[in-house]
Amino acid sequence: MHRIVALVRPPQSTFELSCVAEVFGVERPGLSTRYAFGVCAEEPGPVATRAGYDMLVTDGLDALDRADTVVVPGWLPIDEPPSPGVVGALRRAHARGARVVSICSGVFALAHAGLLGGRQATTHWGHARAFADRFPTVRVDLDVLYVDHGDVATSAGAGAGIDLCLHLVRGDQGARYAAQVARSMVMPPHREGGQLQYAAPPRPEQFDGTLAPLLEWATGRLGEPVTTADLAARAGLSTRTLARRFADQLGTSPGQWLLAQRIGAARELLEGSDLSLDAVARRVGLSSATNLRRRFLGALGTTPGAYRRAFRATSR
């Protein structure tokens, strides 16, 4: 029996904890039970949640010493580092061979414990900048739903915690067992693409500085064959100077910024219209459905058709 222990702290996200509990802690008729699930806290007793109620946790940090897998289902607020006691417990668990897993913001606790230095990890796209600034030796990958090193694994946003947990079950128990768990949850055993397809497309009003008028002009002409040279001419700058200003203000090149706006506009059309892929491609300046698919896959890790199936009903 593989023992899973989730380390919670106030204010605990109930959803992120539920991702772990639903996959590992529920007995399912007709499916053998292969995991024992428990919860612990640094200070046993009532633990406040973000849902407005307290939950009673009876086990302390010593429960981590008996775990085969330790899960940190979120760590909020992210600017509060774990105590020396929590750091020591996570390090001891990892050192004796336990698998250590984070869901969403839980990656901050793993990084504070020194388990991610020089390695790849992921977290919610909204936390990525703060995480990268605080832990520059960790390579943040936002193109994936989870990263699994075997001994340490991290998931993107809260919902990606389910993807990671099902992935771990697949590695522990095999694809058939994982598929049965996913089916009982009415979940796909594996989702296409990464989390960037779920991040909000950038808006012109999010940008400021001297480039703002140019950006507004360009976003109003995405269906036209606007090029980097056109942007430079509109701004009255050389292409080299324009590239330097884009790098300074936006951290990207004019061409990459323009492509990102076209992908963002395509996402809105896929969510809110019945236009064919060819029509969507033409409206956003990507010329053809083939080019749209190639650019979409490169940017978001999924196809326009799969994206439309996932988001069109929700957006309506």
What CATH number does residue 159 fall under?
3.40.50.880
Q: What is the pLDDT of residue 95?
A: 96
Q: What is the pLDDT of residue 51?
A: 93
Name the domain boundary from 150, 182, 198.
Answer: 198
User: Which range of residues forms the domain containing residue 147?
Assistant: 2-198
- Report the domain count for the chain: 2
- Token pair, residue 136, equals 């520059």
Q: Do both 186 and 209 map to the same domain?
A: no
- Answer for the pair 125, 132: CB distance below 8 angstroms, yes or no: no
Q: Do both 142 and 60 map to the same domain?
A: yes
Of the candidates 157, 115, 112, the one whose C-alpha atom is nearest the C-alpha of residue 13 is: 157
Chain centroid, CA 106 distance in Å: 12
What CATH number does residue 297 fall under?
1.10.10.60
Identify the H or E element spanning 217.
helix 212-219
Of the candidates 75, 99, 92, the one whose C-alpha atom is nearest the C-alpha of residue 24 is: 99
Return the DSSP state at 301: S
Q: Which residue has the tokens 């991290």?
A: 154
Q: How does pLDDT run across 250-296, given as a tens digit for each residue?
A: 778 899 889 988 988 898 888 888 899 999 999 999 989 999 999 98
Over residues 79-105, mean pLDDT: 96
The percentage of the chain sitting over the pLDDT mark of 90, rounded to a whole number, equals 55
* C-alpha span between 277 and 281 (Å, rounded): 6
Q: Do both 235 and 189 map to the same domain?
A: no
Question: If pLDDT is split at 50, 70 and 90, which confidence band does 98 have?
Answer: very high
Q: Do both 153 and 264 map to the same domain?
A: no
> In a 10 Å sphere around its CB, with 0-12 CB exposed, 13-18 middle and 19+ buried, how is residue 136 labelled?
exposed
